[in-house]
Amino acid sequence: MDLGLTGKKAIVTGGSRGIGLAIVQTLLDEGATVATCARGKEALDARLDAWRSDGKTVYGEALDVTNAEAFESWLDSSVESMGGCDIFVSNVFSMLKSQGIERWQEAFEINLLQHIRATEKIVPYLPKGGDSAIVFIASIASVMNSNPTETEYGATKAALISYASQLATKLGPDNIRVNCVSPGPIYHEGGFWQMVEKQQPELFKRAQSVSVFNRLGTAQEVANSVVFLASPAASNITAANLRIDGAIIKTVNF
């Protein structure tokens, strides 16, 4: 299938590792120009060098997306560098470190507000009447109530899905599509579940067993879905929330 991404211009936040890295790589392989950001300069610069050596057109900068001024300035400069923007993939999240009410504030900033801030900045740049797309990376934690360590994370991801659905209705008349993907546990090099595999192998095995495939997902499996939803091939899909979890969530998904 030709996804129709050749020549498209995409912004992907958090593109130096894990799901974000796989999304950037897949968009580049499909012929898109991409701008991405990440907190770690060394890892990001290494990725940018590798992509450029492979002949890809890619832009990037190290920054913290919770720094509103720096983040919005980078979004502006990325659009200028690429000569426009057709696709926005809002991917960044972070493990929470605070406790108490500060943990809620941290979750709100990282898992909700920065997505909204970036979207409000990018929407005016998206072509109206073409086939523009926004994809948010949410989580199956948004519908889970059995993991007390993810209370704040799940609640803010649920809010993100609600925001995306309402935005899809608002932007639909301009032919701007808005969708979410909700991954389950995803295994990737240097990621959380690789750490669990090494330090808590029994917990890792239990997490695998919840999937009907008896394994964790991969970053590439998430990226494949994100890139499809962002592409003109998904031109009649909006306000969707696609679970990518190996049927971990045992409910009918109407």
Residue 223 lies in a domain: yes
* Number of domains forming the structure of the chain: 1
pLDDT at 150: 78
d(CA 229, CA 90): 13
pLDDT at 95: 66
pLDDT at 135: 98
pLDDT at 97: 72
179, 164 Cβ separation under 8 angstroms? yes
pLDDT at 98: 74
Residue 2 lies in a domain: no
What distance, in Å, lies between the first and last C-alpha atoms of the chain? 27
pLDDT at 1: 87
Residue 28 lies in a domain: yes
pLDDT at 100: 85
pTM of the model as a whole: 0.95
Give 94-137 pLDDT, tens digit per residue.
666 778 899 899 889 999 999 999 999 999 999 998 889 999 99
Domain ranges, residue 110: 9-187+218-244
pLDDT at 80: 98
Residue 71 lies in a domain: yes
Residue 117 lies in a domain: yes
Mean pLDDT by 10 residues, the chain (254 residues): 96 96 98 96 96 98 94 97 98 77 91 96 94 96 80 93 98 98 94 91 94 97 98 97 95 84
Q: What angle do CA 36, 42, 45 make, to 5 degrees?
A: 45
Residue 211 lies in a domain: no
What CATH number is associated with residue 113? Answer: 3.40.50.720
pLDDT at 148: 61
Residue 135 lies in a domain: yes
